[in-house]
């Protein structure tokens, strides 16, 4: 699928900055959006400040785009009221604007926290039951279901990607399994938007780590193969002292999100 104007929401965040750099020149135009400052537009970029909870602003943001990389919203546990605006209402406004403006495909940044209450000795795939570990995880389950509805009813292809831990490098024992390098995430984005068709295709996203909790065997047609691994960081991480809190969190794939007894 040739992308002319790719909208990237949440472009000021950590993931957003990585894909802004990694996808430079990928589409004819990258339209970058966030509620935070994005700096000056580089060649081939458009900057549009937008609060996705504002329906009219979201509609104007989507106009003229043929594909969307939806990273916008709150990416950690928060109060329900905050998540309601940013992750639930904002995602609804984006999808309904996509329907009105004929957007063909969306990569929706979901999260491993949609299934975080599974044990860390389980291997999951797209058929595994959702077990959200937080209100944040619940908000991602909403986005996945909304995307399913808008594919079945309106034909908007969506690839919800349950992202692991996307940072420059892994920093704790859990991330030895969940780490996703920014380079691997950018290559996944390219594979999703390059595909001739995707339909509604649920994916997990982690690098080629030794410990694998998630399988994407059903999505071989994308041809995505991560190249990085957490293994070079293992010795230093395992040499650190494990706290009782970390040991408890390691029982769950969602880590501290699942181990915490509080919500919001």
| Residues tagged active-site | 136
Residue in this structure with the two tokens 């549009």, named with its chain if needed = 48
Q: From the centroid of its chain, how far is CA 66?
A: 19
Concatenating the DSSP letter of every residue in 216-241 gives: -GGGGGG-------SGGGHHHHHHSP
Q: Which residues contact 106 (CB under 8 A, 6 or more apart)?
A: 67, 68, 69, 70, 94, 95, 98, 147, 156, 157, 158, 159
What is the Cα–Cα distance from 236 to 94, expressed in whole angstroms?
Answer: 42
What is the Cα–Cα distance from 218 to 2, expressed in whole angstroms?
Answer: 24
What is the Cα–Cα distance from 15 to 164, expressed in whole angstroms?
Answer: 12
Q: Which residues contact 235 (CB under 8 A, 6 or more apart)?
A: none
């Amino acid at each position: 699928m040739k992308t002319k104007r790719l909208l990237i929401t949440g472009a000021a965040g950590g993931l957003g900055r990585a894909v802004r750099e990694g996808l430079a020149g990928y589409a004819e135009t990258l339209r970058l959006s966030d509620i935070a400052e994005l700096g000056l537009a580089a060649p081939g970029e458009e900057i549009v400040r937008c609060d996705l909870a504002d329906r009219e602003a979201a509609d104007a943001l989507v106009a003229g785009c043929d594909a969307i990389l939806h990273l916008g919203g709150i990416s950690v546990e928060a109060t329900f009221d905050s998540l309601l605006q940013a992750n639930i209402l904002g995602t609804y406004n984006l999808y309904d604007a996509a329907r009105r403006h004929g957007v063909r495909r969306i990569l929706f940044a979901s999260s491993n926290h949609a299934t975080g209450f599974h044990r860390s000795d389980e291997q999951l795939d797209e058929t595994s039951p959702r077990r959200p570990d937080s209100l944040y995880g619940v908000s991602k389950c909403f986005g996945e279901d909304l995307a399913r509805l808008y594919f079945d009813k309106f034909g908007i292809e969506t690839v919800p990607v349950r992202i692991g831990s996307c940072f420059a490098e892994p920093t704790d024992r859990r991330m030895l399994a969940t780490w996703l390098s920014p380079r691997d995430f950018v290559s996944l984005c390219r594979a999703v938007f390059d595909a001739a068709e995707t339909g509604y295709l649920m994916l997990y996203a982690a690098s080629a780590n030794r410990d694998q909790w998630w399988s994407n065997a059903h999505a071989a047609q994308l041809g995505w193969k991560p190249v990085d691994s957490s293994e070079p960081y293992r010795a230093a991480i395992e040499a650190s002292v494990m706290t009782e809190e970390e040991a408890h969190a390691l029982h769950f794939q969602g880590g501290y999100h699942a181990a915490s007894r509080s919500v919001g």
